[in-house]
Structure 1
Amino acid sequence: MPGDRQPPAEMKRLSAAPDDDSSSTNSNDFQYSGFVKKVPLDGQYPDLDAESQNFLPEVNSGKKKYETEYHQGSASFGMSVFNLGNAIMGSGILGLSWAMANTGIALFVILLVAVAVFSLYSVHLLLKTANEGGARVYEELGQKAFGFPGKLAASCAITMQNIGAMSSYLYIIKYELPIVIQAFTGANNDEWYINGDYLVLLVSLSIILPLSLLRNLGYLGYTSGLSLLCMVFFLIVVIIKKFQIPCPLPMPESSNETAHRMNASFSSVNSTDDEDTCTPKYVVFNSQTVYALPILIFAFVCHPTILPMYEELKDRSRRKMQNVANVSFLAMFVMYLLAAVFGYLTFNIHVEAELLHTYSRFYKKDVLLLVVRLAVLAAVTLTVPVVLFPIRTSVSHLLCPNKDFSWIRHIIITMVLLGGTNLLVIFVPTIKDIFCFFGASAASMLIFILPSAFYIKLVKKEPINSKQKIGAILFLIGGIVVMVGSMSLIIVDWAMNSGGGDDGH
């Protein structure tokens, strides 16, 4: 009888729900769980309009829905943690010791904990909004929340953040490759192939551009794992060198012209000649302290990858993905804290904004450090095309959303993006400015402002005066204050120091 078969059917519907957390499910969860269009990481973002959303179940799709739900998502919990760790970890780790030198250990730890906690809270907002809005792409959430302006804001923030990441990788090539070449060739400072500007252009044209022009970069996805391993290796060396490098530091070894331009600007902690530079400071305030928070924000941003990873999570639920984020953020928090503490304790006020380069001032020919440089250079060189890929995809989707693939358009966008980033690396004097500018602007948008705005707009079942909505509103206001305040202070510092001439990195 039909009445006898109805309870199992209801149980099947409940068991097929995508979220085991009752606080995050509503009627929309069931509608989207089996029909959300998957977005491959290496494909074009779909321009999903109302007609393609499948808001209502198909008439004869019972078996089809079950098979779709059964097969969707293949990433295990452990692999998802590893992938999210890869997304979080990046070049930002190289600037944390400098941030600690300009805040002190105690203030730095407070800021690090605050940024990590707030980043996790924004992940919570994103996941809950994704369930309510039925979207698995950041730009799509913007589209659903605010129409084209929301989609444009999300796309621009992601593009800016990726350009910042790509610029920081090219900065590493610019300042580390000359040291490696000198170590192997013994070239003097006057050789053209020791000039970092020439080298970053040469590497971009000979290696990065050909790889970036490929239509499918799937096989380069393994470089994210290589990059993470290189940073773990870097962290181990930082800890080891803390116990090998004496304090006070020895006189700096002779360096190339590029390094000479970089030496002066990063001993920025206020000090006097008679100050004990071997004694760590716990609270520091100076003109450079304002840069610390944007650097930390830049180091933790990974939010555009949260929703695609959620889509690919096996047996996914909001609670399970939140646990993935908790474990990943905790692991990265520990790595960041260790790298910052041991790097700072090694060099104290002499630490530079790019920690790896600081070692070259004192131990330029150290074999272990040379191996670290080679590993990091290989990782960042192969990672640049991977970072450029979603930027090009987003730009193509914004400019030509309904057009077929064109090699001419593909090549032009690639060359414009890579050429513009190279110009940024050549003419912007310090990697610190890259970290801080993109951390204060794009990263603040992705962590604070957009997730809370999407949550407030799309989560309808919670009234505006509920604790959840009030918390999101306060988070939004706090993000705006952080972004505007940080950018204003950074611009003021740039204006005050522009007349003195910047020495570079």
Structure 2
Amino acid sequence: MALEELYDQEDTPLIPPPKDAGKPRHTMMSASFNFINSIIGSGIIGLPYALNQAGLPFGLLLLIFVGFITDYTIILLIKGGNLSGTNSYQALVQSTFGFPGFLILSALQFLYPFIAMISYNITTGDTLTKVFQRIPGVGPGHILAERHFVILLSTLVFTLPLSLYRNVEKLGKVSLVSMLLTLTILIIAIIRAATFGPQIAPTPNAWAFAKWNAIQAVGLISFAFICHHNSFLIYGSLEKPTVANWSRVTHASVGSAVIFSAAFAVAGYITFTGYTQGDLFENYCRDDDLATFGRFCFGFSIIATFPLECFVTREVVTNVICRRELSKMEHVLVTSLIVLACTSLSLPYDCLGVVLELNGVLSATPLIFIIPSACFIKLSPGRKLQCENVLPFFLILMGFFVMITGLIMIALYPQDCSHGVEMFYCLPDNFSSTEPPPRNDRLFG
């Protein structure tokens, strides 16, 4: 079936219907909220650093390009589901490439949200500890300023209970709140770009069109935009799951995420230019109350996003190991083990940038560029070198290039972080805000 013929069937629902048919459904707006929320997670905090790596103009072009590819390949997945008669990402890949393909996809689909949840916990520990330290009487030695305690507290009180929901549509209102909090963060970043940015002299080469380590930026941006692992889950929760409705949800969600992400990335980068770190909130001074409010909003936004990733991770475990619907006891046990594993791994490590880069090139890139394109090419009848397959072929080649080159660059040029270290421009007694600091490999590795 040619691609243009597939468009004529856009109002035909997936066959077979999603396995949760009969359960409460999303409206298209509610589905869009969940979809946008799944895109704009902790990855957005690293987008200003992606511009620092790639150069402001070229970084924005890369962001728009990855957004376009995200939109294109998400719709390819659902069309591939129509062609193969499948209703999940894993079923699509198994139908297309057999059991080996199913295992590879399952590993990637588990790895991405699992590492994402680790990054969410790291972000929560980084941001909320600084929020609590603004409370009178809470100093650096206080238990509320201890990142390990904050991560454990947020896990027990918020992320674990929310992750125990069985139906993703119940998170629609939580996702809306998360989006409003993230919008608040954007406004704060713009305000600080106008009020704090002029106090910090731009670094040399700050406005260069492109920089040599742009490949690492592609990994960060891919991490920020990956949502393919949620696609069938959210698609199946639509009131009327058709390709036409899904295309509208996808265009609205990805388009909104691109605009939002670009605005945040630019605001963050022009404030700090070459000093921009993997976690933008590490750049703001500890006594900046407006930034502290932004940290508070982002911390709870991340807590609200965590359950969406846990849903996907749990579904992969269910499909690969159990291969049946979990009982209530099994559901609680599997969810608790996943959350416990993420929490355990996030406690000893606090450098967000490397986690985002590694997840971007290792799991997000094949999930965005390679697998959807390969499935569509394999399922397309007729000659493989027909016009509609040119872009999928290009995306496969580009995906492998980004993966291999990105992993090499991460190994050769790892990013250090400065968790808990005040930036030089926050220390007026030691440095002028217009003078560059002495070289510090911990800050500028």
Partner of 2:59: 108
Shift of 1:138: 0.7
Superposed, which structure 2 residues align to 1:51-70 within 5 Å?
none
Q: 1:382 to 1:115 in 2, by over 3 A?
A: closer
Aligned equivalent of 1:151, options 102, 113, 130:
102
Q: 1:203 to 1:456 in 2, by over 3 A?
A: same
Shift of 1:413: 3.0
Question: Are the aligned partners of 2:229 and 2:312 in contact in 1 as well (CA < 8 Å)?
Answer: no
- What is the rounded CA distance, in whole Å, between the counterparts of 1:162 and 1:378 in structure 2? 18
Aligned to 1:184, the other structure's residue is in SS state coil
- What is the rounded CA distance, in whole Å, between the counterparts of 1:79 and 1:302 in structure 2? 16
Amino acid at match of 2:209: V
Aligned equivalent of 1:94, options 45, 56, 69:
45
Superposed, which structure 2 residues align to 1:473-484 within 5 Å?
473-484=393-404
Q: 1:204 to 1:504 in 2, by over 3 A?
A: farther
Return the TM-score normalized by structure 1. 0.74
Shift of 1:248: 2.9
Amino acid at match of 2:174: T
Partner of 2:314: 392
Question: Are the aligned partners of 1:294 and 1:439 in contact in 2 as well (CA < 8 Å)?
Answer: yes
Shift of 1:289: 4.4
Amino acid at match of 1:378: F
Provide structure 2 residue ranges, at least 5 long, that are not aligned to the other structure.
418-439
- What is the rounded CA distance, in whole Å, between the counterparts of 2:139 and 2:100 in structure 1? 53
Partner of 1:58: none
- What is the rounded CA distance, in whole Å, between the counterparts of 2:242 and 2:223 in structure 1? 28
Superposed, which structure 2 residues align to 1:372-383 within 5 Å?
372-383=294-305
Partner of 2:359: 438
Shift of 1:418: 2.2
- What is the rounded CA distance, in whole Å, between the counterparts of 1:502 and 1:419 in structure 2? 30
The answer to whether residue 266 in structure 2 is matched with residue 341 in structure 1 is: yes
Partner of 1:359: 284
Of residues 316-325 and 332-341 in structure 1, the stretch that sits farther from structure 2 once superposed is 316-325
Amino acid at match of 2:301: A
Q: 1:276 to 1:155 in 2, by over 3 A?
A: closer
Larger Rg belongs to: 1
- What is the rounded CA distance, in whole Å, between the counterparts of 2:224 and 2:145 in structure 1? 29
Partner of 2:337: 416
Shift of 1:78: 4.4
Superposed, which structure 2 residues align to 1:437-456 within 5 Å?
437-456=358-377
Output the aligned Cα RMSD. Answer: 3.4
Question: Are the aligned partners of 1:278 and 1:348 in contact in 2 as well (CA < 8 Å)?
Answer: no
The answer to whether residue 209 in structure 2 is matched with residue 283 in structure 1 is: yes
Partner of 2:391: 471
Shift of 1:345: 1.2
Aligned equivalent of 1:162, options 113, 116, 122:
113
Aligned equivalent of 1:38, options 7, 18, 24:
18
Q: 1:35 to 1:113 in 2, by over 3 A?
A: closer
Amino acid at match of 1:285: K
Q: 1:320 to 1:396 in 2, by over 3 A?
A: closer
- What is the rounded CA distance, in whole Å, between the counterparts of 2:4 and 2:23 in structure 1? 21
The answer to whether residue 125 in structure 2 is matched with residue 174 in structure 1 is: yes
Q: Deviations over 1:197-239 (max 9, x none)?
A: 2321233234433444455675444221111111111111111
Partner of 2:434: none
The answer to whether residue 410 in structure 2 is matched with residue 490 in structure 1 is: yes
- What is the rounded CA distance, in whole Å, between the counterparts of 1:150 and 1:480 in structure 2? 16
Percent of aligned pairs with the same amino acid: 25
- What is the rounded CA distance, in whole Å, between the counterparts of 1:496 and 1:341 in structure 2? 22
The answer to whether residue 250 in structure 2 is matched with residue 325 in structure 1 is: yes
Shift of 1:466: 1.2
Shift of 1:141: 0.3
